[in-house]
Amino acid sequence: MGITQQHNGVEMIYNIVNLLLMKGSIGIQGGGACPVRGHSNVQGNRTLLINHHPTKEQLDRLQEYYGFEVPRKGGYDVVNALKAMHEGKVKFMFCMGGNFLSAAPDTTFTAEAMRSLEMSVIVSVKLNRNHLIHGKEALILPVISRSEKDMINGELQHVSTENSMGVVEWSRGVLDPISKNLINETHVACRMAKAVLGERSVVDWDKFINSYDAVRHDIEQCIPGFENYNKRVVQKGGFYLPNGPRDGVFNSEFYPGKAAFNITAVPDNSLADDEYLMGTTRTHDQFNTVVYGLNDRYRGIFNERRVVMMNEKDIEKAGLKEGDHVDLFNYDDGIERIAPLFIVVKYPIPQKSTMTYFPETNVLVSINNVVNGANMPASKYVRIKIRKHDPDIFKKIDDHVIAAAGTSVE
């Protein structure tokens, strides 16, 4: 994400591939690009068509297999979904897991969008801030987590995960569920479908309720690369998904069967004298928005998260010293965004660059600060200003913004 979450993130990937092509490192044994896509949900979601613009071929296959008319109109990405909520185009939101409020950019904007909904439903394995900022009506549906045993009709079920290298393998919970009344996420989705569609549905939802293998069987029928899914997934080490460059298959739009070079512009990263570029990052004791502890052994920072890492020369030039309390500001779109009460930490980072933790500074990331060509938040490219802490700063911040950002007024 240090590469992708920049204004020119897409172009940087183009140039990495350009370099690999010039070196002859594509399409050979042991060569190629190795993108680190994140955890299994991020990787697997895209493989399994969790996409606001699935391709015609993907939709055709679903329609052919299940026998019902598949919706063809594209959906919203995160940024456009938030804007659509503000405009009243989205009135209902159903979240399968996650912590949308804390993960999305522009925390104030996101909180306002969530509160404009007629109803929000959150399927969760853990309490989070998304439960506090919600629609006019709200439901929280607790479910078992992946680390808990999922017994269905006396059989212990297993899920499959896809790692950053495109390897799919099985995973099984080892803990007893916290309650016998909890069901899994698949049950929630299938029971909703049965309740709404009833006899009109051409899908056998009960088979999915009774067995995870049945879900994987249907994935095998609809998505390339999953042949003999249930057998291969339980083999030691799992199995690799298809990889075009690895297999020597290229799908260039203009040169079929060939890999294409791309030409990109050099970005203008100039800053005003009192501006810095901020990137957000995560700690060792953190998984996405879930913070398990206050230590970051990667960077030698302990028992604190509201810190801003700065170059030693920048600290001195700004008239600050390590340990000072500061407030952070962003002024994109002509709006003042404030992240109050941070501690200055000296860190070997390039001058004019700073680093803070996610999600504490998401409040500074404008909804319009996005990656060109991808429209995802550019959370590693945020222009900020840093000022010594003003004790009266909280008078400028609404209570609901403080709650959304997780800031302690005390």
The pLDDT assigned to 39 comes to 67
Q: Which residues of the chain have pLDDT under 50?
A: 400, 407-410
Count of positions (residues) in the chain: 410
- 7 within 8 A of 267, measured Cβ to Cβ: yes
Query: Model-level pTM?
Result: 0.89
Q: What is the pLDDT of residues 260-316, one digit of tens each?
A: 899 999 988 899 999 999 999 999 888 888 888 999 999 999 999 999 999 999 999
**What contacts 121, CB < 8 A, 6 or more positions away?**
92, 93, 94, 95, 138, 139, 141
Spatial distance between the Cα atoms of 117 and 94, rounded to a whole number of angstroms: 11
The CATH number of the domain covering residues in 276-405: 2.40.40.20
Question: What proportions of the chain, in percent to the nearest 5, are helix, strand and coil?
Answer: 30, 20, 50
Domains of the chain by residue range: 32-247, 276-405
Where are any strands of DSSP class E within 125-202? 137-142, 151-152, 155-156, 159-162, 167-171
User: Which CATH number is 32-247's, of 3.40.50.300, 3.40.50.740, 3.40.109.10, 3.40.50.970?
Assistant: 3.40.50.740
The pLDDT assigned to 400 comes to 46
Where are any strands of DSSP class E within 304-407? 307-310, 325-330, 337-346, 353-357, 382-388
Q: What is the pLDDT of residues 2-39, one digit of tens each?
A: 899 999 999 999 999 999 999 998 878 778 888 776 66
The pLDDT assigned to 328 comes to 97
